[in-house]
Chain A
Amino acid sequence: MEFHHVERRFGDNVVLKDIDFAIEAGKFYTLLGPSGSGKTTILRLIAGFNSPTSGEIDFDGKRINDVPANRRQVNTVFQDYALFPHMNVAENVAFGLQIKGVGKQETAKRVKEALHLVQLDGYGEREITEMSGGQRQRVAIARALVNRPKLLLLDEALSALDHKLRVEMQTELRQLQRQLGITFIFVTHDQEEALAMSDQIMIINDGTIQQSGTPVDIYDEPLNHFVADFIGESNIVPGIMKADYLVTIDGQDFECVDAGMRPNERVEVVIRPEDLDITTVEKGQLAVTVDTQLFRGVDYQITAHDQRNHEWKINSIHKTTVGATVGLAFDPEDIHVMRYNESEEDFDARLDSYEEDE
């Protein structure tokens, strides 16, 4: 599955700009972005409910721009499940097979298998209205999978479930994908969900792909302010890159692991809250005053400000006192430097250039 310079407009409104990506078979992809970012539009283009204004969509090496939804080897799990209310569970699952003219016995067998796959054995005769949210979700997945698609699309498929069920379904979906080897494309605005399930994440905002990569890459090396802010929590402060491996924040020099920029280039520095350790003022690299402290079960969420009034978010397992001045300690590896307006290719090239030297 490949997108080549795909653009989609609704009237004057450009929803997707120059989208370009390739999807490998058998992996779990996530399109992650805030609402209105264009991620669902990409999904609709893949499913065939919309066609691109310009550009080309290829599937198995063939152009499928004008192939209607019903002739694509792609199935979708809809956000609201879109189960047919006038059919029972088994009839819903059998729908796709019936349309294709699969024989009765074969259909019954495959419906049974599909329901087994989503742990709904014996639920075939139930009406949709008798099923809970989580069960409906499973029926929707079974209804899509029974057709043995090459590509399964999931549109915010878990967002209607409560937290506990959602986490359960995340694990199950991931297992299901590994077991079947079908390519999954999952759309979500929930970054935790994306990090937990995906092989590859594509971060979408304003109709463009901001960054794509493995969950670890994206978390550790966000490309720009948007990605850093959207994925996880972060402290983003302006800085100046004095030289390779040396960055200045608030006039204070720090050793870091980034390089390949112009001397004295203005940059942004990202430090994750969980990488900051609270220590005494003498031991810390930065002195901050604690403003608030929230207990969250696993840790404390602390906000503090430094002398320049930059706000710092800190996640710490140790308690501190509001109003106290403490030191913040962090390692050079915890500092991640982002250049302004760097494209993804340049970013990758720069990383490769100095990581090879090491």
Chain B
Amino acid sequence: MRQKAFFAVPYALWIILFVVAPLVLIFYQSFFNIDGQFTLGNYANYLTSSVYLKMTVDSVWYAFLITLVTLVISYPTAYVLNRLPNKQFWLLLVILPTWINLLLKTYAFIGLFSQAGTINQFLRFVGLGSHQLLFTDASFMFVAAYIEIPFMVLPIFNSLAEINPSLINASKDLGANDWQTFTKVIWPLSLPGVKAGIQAVFIPSLSLFMITRLIGGNRVITLGTAIEEHFLTTQNWGMGSTIGVILILAMFIVMAVTGDRRKKKGGVRR
């Protein structure tokens, strides 16, 4: 018993120092105004300010779009990867870009999308003229989805790989065609992977700030950007923390919505 407790020390230290303590600090900070006085003003400010509310709606909307685009691309990718002969190798190629620093990738896209960038050079060469690619919603979505795709592919790939192939045979044996087998067997069984993927993509997307600035040109100001501004520019830590608390709440909501509801007994699922 004592030995077990000993092994738990690194975990406990980690949780206390890097999870519990920051959460407590953020929560504590959010009750102080810029002059260091205790106040509920930050929350009142947040809830009454149309700027913050719009920002929240925008963040959620863009995070939703990014997640949707990522899912639409990743599910078929994971599905196809699973049927390839050297699937682990092909999966590695999908994961490979995550080994490169996020900032480097973002700068690489600036190189591609800018007025003098590779894509515009090509467009001029073909005779289509140059276009404003950088600082558009489309480029923002594109880069965000590009960065998030591996995090969506991986859990879906794993959940698909776990499906016992004889279940698919059983489904066909019982008269289901390929599409019915997909909707009634494969999709429901891969749902845990899809949910994990959504959690891995939606929550970070809510607080994206680097890409919004470098690729989106700050046209989209998300909650992540707002937090950065409050902490680094306006030095209003209280307000920044308040938005942080809001983000944490949003995170819990997403976890609850995508959480495993299977455990409820006798529930009818379709």
Q: Does A183 contact B (CB under 8 A)?
A: no
**Distance in Å: Cβ of A213 to nearest Cβ of chain B:** 29
Determine whether the beta carbon of B266 is less than 8 Å from that of A96.
Answer: no
Is the C-beta of A313 less than 8 angstroms from some C-beta in chain B?
Answer: no
Give B269's nearest chain A residue, CB to CB.
A86
Q: How many A-B residue pairs have CB under 8 A?
A: 64
The closest CB in chain A to the CB of B167 belongs to A82
Select A78's contact among B169, B177, B180, B265, beta carbons within 8 Å. B169
Tell yes or no: A248 within 8 A of B by CB. no
Q: Which residue of A lies closest to B262 (CB)?
A: A86
Tell whether, in the assembled complex, residue B169 and residue A75 are in contact, meaning their CB atoms are under 8 Å apart. no
Residue ID in chain A nearest B180 by CB atoms:
A99
Q: What band does the interface of chain A fall in when counting residues whose beta carbon is under 8 Å from B?
A: 20 to 34
A96-B175, A99-B175 are contacts. A78–B269 as well, Cβ < 8 Å? no
Please state if A78 and B170 are interface contacts (CB–CB under 8 Å): yes
Q: Is there a chain B Cβ closer than 8 Å to A147's Cβ?
A: yes
Please determine whether A49 and B269 come into contact, CB atoms closer than 8 angstroms: no
Q: Are A75 and B173 in contact (CB under 8 A)?
A: yes
* Bound Cα distance from A108 to B219, whole angstroms: 57
Q: How far is the CB of B232 from chain A (nearest CB, A)?
A: 47
Which residues of the other chain, A, contact B180 by a CB distance below 8 angstroms? Answer: 99
Contact A99 B189 (CB under 8 A): no
Does B164 touch A at the CB level, under 8 Å? yes
Total chain B interface residues with beta-carbon distance under 8 A: 21
Min distance, Cβ A71 to any Cβ of chain B, angstroms: 8
Interface positions, chain A 66-92, Cβ under 8 Å from B, are: 68-71, 74-76, 78-80, 82-86
Contacts of A78 in B (CB 8 A): 166, 169-170
Bound form: Cα–Cα A86–B169 in Å:
16
How far apart sit A96 and B185, CA to CA, in the bound complex (Å)?
12
* Cα of A79 to Cα of B177 in the assembled complex, Å: 22
Q: Residues 232-270 of chain B: 1 if any A CB is under 8 Å from the residue's CB, otherwise 0?
A: 000000000000000000000000000000100110010
Contact A127 B189 (CB under 8 A): no
Q: Is B172 interfacial (CB-CB < 8 Å)?
A: yes
Q: Are A147 and B167 in touch, CB under 8 angstroms?
A: no
Point out the residues of chain B lying under 8 angstroms from A47, CB to CB: 169, 173
Q: Shortest CB–CB separation between residue A147 and chain B, in angstroms?
A: 7
Choice from B166, B172, B174 contacting A80 with Cβ under 8 Å:
B166
* Chain A residues positioned under 8 Å from B200 (CB to CB): none
Please tell me if A308 contacts chain B, counting CB pairs below 8 Å.
no
Q: Which 3 A-B pairs have the closest CB atoms?
A: A96-B174, A82-B170, A82-B166
